[in-house]
Every structure is written in C-alpha cells, then in structure tokens.
Amino acid sequence: MIGRDVELVVVDDEKEVARVVATRLAQAAAAGGSVVLTGGKTPQQAYERAAKEAPDWSSVELWWGDERCVPPDDENSNYGAAKKSLLDKLEHAPRAVHRIRGELGMDEAAVAYERELADTALDLLLLGIGPDGHVASLFPHAPTLHEERRVVPAKPGWEPYVDRVSLTIPVLRSAREILFIVAGAAKADTARRAFIEEPSDDTPASLVRAQSGRTTAVVDRAAAARFEG
C-alpha cells in the first residue's frame, strides 16, 4: 500500500511488526553503516529478535534519534532500553556506539551530540510515533520543528515530562532509509494523519520523509484501521 510519499507495510499484529523490523535490522547489521535507533516497546521487541538473527554488529555504528535527559541506567533512557534489549545480547558489539549524554543536561548534551554527529551520513533511521504525532522529541507546533541545526535541546511535550535532546527534521530527512514502527489501536488516528493526510505541524511525523531515499512504515492492522476511511 502506498501512503503519502511512504510505503505502508500492514501486518497482523505488534509481534509481526517487531519481526519485520528485526529482519531489516539484521540486514543492516550485515551491510554495516550508521543505524539510528528509537525508543518504545515495539522497537525493543524488534531489537531482541534482531540480536538473535544477527549477533554480529561489528560493522555498524549506532546512533539515537533522541534521548531523555536522564542517566543511561534510568528506566526512561532510550539508550538504556536498547542496551538491555540489543547491546547486551550481541556476540560482537557495534564498531561504535554514539550515545546522547542526556545526564549532562539538554543544552550541553545537544552541543556535544551535534559535534559528534558532524556530517555523518545516516543509512537506516528507525522512528516511532507518539499518540500526539510527535517523532523523535519533536512535538506538535514546537519551535524545534523549524530548526536548521542538526541537534536541539527540547522541552517535553509528552510523558515522561523530562527535558530531551533530539535530531531535527533536516537530519531525519537526510537518512538514506527511514523506517517507521507503529502498532496499536491507540495510534490509528495518528497514523492516518502521519501517512495519509497532508503534512502538518499538528503531526510532526507527517513532515519526515527521506529526501533522496526510501520511507517505509511497518504498521499493524489495529494502527492501520483508518487508512481507508
């Protein structure tokens, strides 16, 4: 199915979403390059499966699309979640792990991450979508939606209400491949706005499409319920 500038892959349920994403991650591990991870329950399921399918990530450099300003072992840390579900389960670690150091505070962490990112080309970018349509830590109508910098500090617009650091729209759109991960009936309205309707600051996910690459959304049937209605 084709949405607005995105290929929509609709599967039965959340478990199947995780399976499809895990297979793509395993392919990326074999190919090497820069892979950008996201937070969320479904991605963590995909990471666990990907670690079993491809235990060698030694050709990969890992990045994150956003992070909460908490220590890396905090339950709200995107890095911490990926460490438990992916990194700790690999036989061969990634060539490099570029963690956003949220514990430094959002301003200092954003400057440090932008310096580290520099002009890195991103090969595969994973993104979830919040119930309000936010993507990474770019929230509806936030001034960060129109930033030209590559990395920005961001105030929270959704739980958990802690400061954030996020890649910006231009960086997200620069990725060679963007893979959205969406599951659950609670995301049905948001998924329609993100992938079917016209782009709008109301739904930041609708603004993110690969400029010169491929954009795919893997969506379960519950989240896809409003695609044709």
pLDDT digits (tens, 9 = 90+) for 126-142: 999 999 999 999 999 99
Nearest to 17 by CA among 56, 44, 53: 44
Q: What pLDDT sits at residue 44?
A: 98
Nearest to 203 by CA among 211, 213, 193, 212: 193
| Domains recognised in the chain with CATH numbers | 7-220 (3.40.50.1360)
- Does this model's pTM top 0.85? My answer is yes
* Distance from C-alpha of 202 to C-alpha of 15, rounded to nearest angstrom: 29
| Burial of 111: CB neighbours in 10 Å, binned 0-12, 13-18, 19+ | middle
What tens digit of pLDDT does each residue of 12-37 get? Answer: 999 999 999 999 999 999 999 999 99
User: Is residue 229 predicted with pLDDT exceeding 70?
Assistant: no
Q: What pLDDT sits at residue 182?
A: 98
**CA-CA-CA-CA dihedral for 42, 170, 153, 219, to nearest 10:** -10
CB of 188 closer than 8 Å to CB of 223: yes
CA angle 2–64–122, rounded 5-degree value? 60
**Interacting residues of 28 by C-beta distance below 8 A, sequence separation 6+:** 35, 60, 123, 124
